[in-house]
Structure 1
């Protein structure tokens, strides 16, 4: 693009992992834009916090749903948000002509994400798929690696949590079975004998937390600590201090890798070629179950869900040991 865009608006309601995988495209837009406003969930405030967008607005607070109304009459609030906007890019509303028409009434140029989502196994990497509407807008994306620059110096955040494990995911079928989790915690306590292992969980892992507390082996209880339901910015601050992060195909795993933390990403039914964080400081452990990876529909219908049971704990430990875990090493400049 030859000229600087004065003002652009992005609309993104996706999950945390999807948002982070869209970050390279949003960053490229920001580099070509004087003012970039985001509309979406509370998660967008993470991009504002990290300086990728100038202002994050929560969609419910501004009555965003009215864009899907046939008799759309933009409020004064809407008119101010989109005032003099050269461009609007949306990862929402691809199937609604009403939404397209109403969005077109607010911005000079609009681009709406049109790709199949979620993509099938064997597709190109998700960062390139999610970048399509930004590319269609004429923005060149030179770097497809998700990167979040934490605005606070790590030493200012206080003492951190050295080893973080996030055993859950938005889908239970992508989560680590409890037996495998306890096996992993046992192995981690052997290689990090002087540290506590921190298990992080969110709202979707409430049932898993109950089972962890109920069935955790006695010998592991002094070695582990549960950290639950942190707000997203606090979660990012905690992850930014970690020495090593171990997680499934989930939003926090993409967050850790984007923050530059040495990351072990564990994959079962989903395709790591599409979904795995692409940074060099990420080691991927993928199941060897015969039918993995599978499509989203097959995963939802699967009654066996055995693929995560084949994850090998020693393979994870070897991946951890392949990192040079001295301060500052294996992290990007």
Structure 2
């Protein structure tokens, strides 16, 4: 059995766009044991994405790989020697990380290049792997992340609490999940537009869930009043369960939108200043609406019409 280590840093959405390539690799080299070296917050998600184990790059010791001739803890050296193939999606412009990896392990090594301009990130990574390994790698569409039973149980407990507090059976209605935020204000569809859409969804036979994280706390208030439920800083594993059960997700170009797509949820992704030709979410049921750099051309009426169409 091959043992493969995949190293990736960056933002959540950046990592999720590597999953199609990782899934193709796992299928092509089966049986294989694929392990992630990434952000601490991704560890639980990685296990739900088919990785047999996940380690945090943020733990002490790994930083030594960024220092030429640095001393690596024996525990990490021993771990690295277990792998036959190491794939790095990390930015390594001067080759320090690659050089140190080669110093500590005889494993075959591939440094993935930054995606080429104008090409979908997920597609570019897949093409690089196919060329390097000289293998036929069918490009999977997903889903790439599946909830565990404990995630579904946690979600059901959360839903039961909501129903008890609101005296309304949420399971009788399609769940529509909205996320109005992102990692940058300029990537956010205007709040007034979200308000308009929420007002029209609120009184329909739907259960509208508005997701919010720490970054949205200061401006989410007006939207929160129009949703049936607020998912405030939900654990990622619970979020995976929610998205796997939802009838539709609507959001900006954000990590959560990429997560919804990776979970197989029907996704309506709203793009303004960023290019969906590069950053498109990768999943089996993704619809993209593109506005201008300042969101011209993407009216709330247009978005609502697509929501209604996707809900049937």
Q: Same fold (TM over 0.5)?
A: yes
Give the superposition deviation at 1:51: 4.5
Shift of the alpha carbon at 1:102?
Answer: 0.5
Matched, 1:102 2:110: no
Q: Structure 1's 75 and 230: CA in aligned 2 closer, same or farther, altered over 3 A? A: same
CA distance in 1, matches of 2:59, 2:280: 33
Partner of 1:242: 246
Provide the alpha-carbon RMSD of the alignment: 2.5
Q: Which runs of 4+ in 1 moved over 4 A?
A: 153-157
CA contact (8 A) 2:147 2:241 kept: no
Q: 1:257 and 1:93, CA in 2 relative to 1: closer, same or farther beyond 3 A?
A: closer
Question: How many angstroms does 1:309 deviate by?
Answer: 5.4
Aligned residue in 2 for 1:299: none
Call closer, same or farther: CA 1:132–1:223 in 2, change over 3 Å. Answer: closer
Look up the match of 2:85. Answer: 87
Contact 1:93–1:100 under 8 Å retained in 2: no
Q: Is it true that 1:273 corresponds to 2:271 in the alignment? A: no
The yes-or-no answer on 1:75 pairing with 2:73 is yes
2:210 corresponds to? 199
Structure 1's unaligned 5+ residue stretches are 293-306, 326-333
What per-residue deviation string (whole Å, max 9, x for no partner) do you get for residues 36-86 of structure 1?
Answer: 221110243245332421100011225211101112223211122112421
The 1-side partners of 2:136 and 2:248 are apart by 33
Check whether the contact 2:4–2:83 (CA below 8 A) recurs between aligned residues: yes
2:288 aligned with 1:316, yes or no?
Answer: no
| Equivalent position SS for 1:210 | coil
Match of 1:113 in 2: 112
Distance in 1, matches of 2:135 and 2:295, equals 39
1:179 aligns with 2:192: yes
The superposition leaves residues 166-198 of structure 1 with CA deviations (integer Å, 9 ceiling, x where unpaired) of 0111111101221111111112225xx244421
Distance 1:223 1:29, change over 3 A: closer
Q: Which of 54, 57, 61 is the matching residue for 1:56?
A: 54
Deviations 1:83-112 (A, max 9, x none): 242111101133032212101122421111
The structural deviation recorded for 1:272 is 1.6
**TM-score, normalising length from structure 2?**
0.83
Residue in structure 1 matched with residue 165 of structure 2 by the alignment: none
Is the 2:45–2:237 Cα contact (8 Å) retained in structure 1?
no
In the alignment, what sits opposite 2:122?
Answer: 127
